[in-house]
Structure 1
Amino acid sequence: MVKAAERWAKKQIERARVAGPEYEEGVKAPERDPIKAAIAANEKRVANLQRSITDRTWEKTMGKLTMADWQEPTLAKGVARFPAGVEAAEKKITNFVTKFRPLLDGIQSRVRAMPQATDAQREARVLENLRSLKKAKGAWR
């Protein structure tokens, strides 16, 4: 028989409170490579995503939420974790900025060198900037 919802939730929370060391151990020594497993399951991911798009699952789910559904847990959990999360990603952020900055500098130089006296010229600058940024997406990797 399935536990009552309140008991089930309480048990899950109680177990999670003491599971930190076991969680850490699992991260340090996974049973299989999670990256390779994710790549191997890509067809399943794509099929599920396509079904979700067709069924409009995301829209239906989002339509049931309120601002409070988002704000309350974000304020309760997210605000305190935000600085530590950014600090923990320092290496990743520095890597991105170091590699992306030269691409961005090149785009800015090209756009700034373009004439801007007329509306058409300004539109051309905007389009050059937009197209260049789209092309640069992921190129820094």
Structure 2
Amino acid sequence: MMMNAPDSSSQPSCCSGSPSCTAALVLGIIALVLALIGFFPCLGWIALVPAALLGIIALVMSIVAASKGSPKGALVVAIIALALSAGAGIVQAWVASATVSYMEHCQDHMEKKAQDIQKELQQMDRQNQEQLKMLRDVESSFPVDEKVSQGE
């Protein structure tokens, strides 16, 4: 005889018999997964909006289920999902602001380099024009022999 064995019938399982608690738990788990995906770059903003919405819905549903006497497991999952969604949103906003400031820095650097290149090209064009003018002056100073120009 096992006298110390826990009686499983006296402890209700998480969301046993409560459809709103079960739905809140499922939505909270989905929100939790989406919130974790929110920490990945490029996928974050796509996953954070549904994660936050599902987390809010799960929170409301789990509060309703907890007020009816259901276990609070779904409430904990919803709160964790909302906290992770908020954390992922903050991380994504920080990464985006760092990226924007870096791009602004690079843009200023690139504009300066483009202006330097444009000045060099203008200087090279002036040098080419001067050399072309000198070649034309030299060409016009030498008389062209008609026999050589006719190929004889």
Report if TM-score (shorter chain) is over 0.5. no
For normalisation by structure 1, the TM-score amounts to 0.23
Kindly name which structure, 1 or 2, has the bigger radius of gyration based on alpha carbons.
2
Greater relative contact order structure (CA < 8 Å, 6+ sep): 2
For normalisation by structure 2, the TM-score amounts to 0.22
